[in-house]
Structure 1
Amino acid sequence: MSGLTKQIENLVLNHLPDESFFIVDIQTEEKAGKIKLVILIDSDEGITIEACAKVSRAISEELETSDLFPQAFILEVSSPGLDFPLGSPRQYKKNIGRDLKILLQSGSEISGKLLEVDENQIKLAVRKKEKGKKAIEEEMTFALNEIKKSTVQVSFK
């Protein structure tokens, strides 16, 4: 994590509404001489547009009075979309009971329902179908450091 990102993280942490809120990601990119700062936040209970707007206003005011960005900047504070990969145990816990697709470091892809999460691993219920037999569900455990990418799968059933 760069020094600038760490400073932004500390600033954001000071303006989160309560301890149920957490930072998912901080991204900075330069476009046409302007810095674009994207801050993704979430909450254990879900997040509202109003919460994002409140955090955005507070951060914007503080950034404007600081010298972190001497040039013009664009600030975007939002929640991660469903297509944004899960990264922290806290994000996984929020999605227990939902279907995930995980890409392992080995290149294998596995889909299943998220059953359990701890600080180091997740447990999925994976449906396995053998030729000519009825599908069975098998519980499989994966260390978080084995997972390259993990996304929530949307079901329209």
Structure 2
Amino acid sequence: MSTTQSERLRGLLEPLVSAADLDLEEIELSRAGRRRVLRIVVDSEEGVDLDACAELSRVISDKLDATDAMGEDEYQLEVTSPGAERPLKEHRHYVRAKGRLARFTLHEGGELVARILDLDDDGLDLEVPGVKGRKPTARRVAFDEIAKARVEIEFSRKDKKEEEA
């Protein structure tokens, strides 16, 4: 997608997404055969449910139909959340992932899987799980040390309500 079209779509859609109390994470335009696919990724502090995606999809569709932002060609609109293994790119992503297990690829090389305990403007306080019966260890990682980060799926993870009880 050209920068101009991307900027135009972001300018058009961001107010609609914000009005739904959501954050516009990504706009992706790709080809699927003859059709184009416009994928809008949204999120919030509480996450995004299917009903919110469906409602926002209707609002965005109406807005796109009322403008020439997508041109005359056919397109398919998808409004979705970042998913379970969401990438962590912005500071707000790390805030939302607090308490979650994440996989970090470090600039110095190597990977680290650890739980995000806390964070500030400079970096993260992590708990690295112990291996083979060893206790977990604390580690501090600065944001500028992280090349990539992604939330890991945990099948036996306690949710916040269980932890608070």
Shorter-chain TM band: 0.7 to 0.9
> Percent of counterpart pairs with the same letter?
28
- State how far apart, in whole Å, the 2-side matches of 1:119 and 1:57 are: 37
AA in 2 matched with 1:43: S
**Structure 2 residue aligned with 1:57:** 58
TM-align CA RMSD = 2.3
Alpha-carbon distance in structure 1 between the residues aligned to 2:109 and 2:66 = 46
Pairs within 5 Å for 1:9-88 = 9-16=10-17, 18=19, 20-70=21-71, 71-88=73-90
Deviations 1:48-97 (A, max 9, x none): 11111111111111112222211111110010111231221111111111
- In the other structure, the counterpart of 1:118 is 120
Partner of 2:160: none
Please, which moves more after superposition, 27-36 or 74-83?
27-36
Q: Letter of the 1:100 partner, please give it.
A: A
Aligned residues: 154
Show the counterpart of 2:159: none
Q: For residue 19 of structure 1, report the CA deviation from its aligned partner.
A: 7.5
Counterpart residue type for residue 59 of structure 1? I
- Shift of the 125–143 alpha-carbon distance from structure 1 to 2, 3 Å rule, reads same
Q: Report the alpha carbon displacement of residue 34 of structure 1 after superposing the two structures with TM.
A: 2.0
Residue 63 to residue 19, structure 1, CA distance change in 2 (3 Å):
closer
Given that 2:20 and 2:56 are in contact with CA atoms closer than 8 Å, whether structure 1 keeps it comes out as no
User: What's the TM-score, normalizing by structure 2?
Assistant: 0.81
SS in 2 for 1:16: helix
Q: Match of 1:154?
A: 153
Q: What runs of 5+ residues in structure 1 fail to find an aligned partner?
A: none
Answer 1 or 2: which has greater helix percent: 2
Pairwise CA distance, 1:139: 2.4
The secondary structure found in structure 2 opposite 1:140 is strand
Cα distance in 2 for residues equivalent to 1:126 and 1:117: 15
- Work out the CA distance in 2 between the residues paired with 1:17 and 1:113: 30
Paired residue for 1:98?
100
Looking at structure 2, the residues matched to 119 and 35 of structure 1 have their Cα atoms a distance apart, in angstroms, of: 39
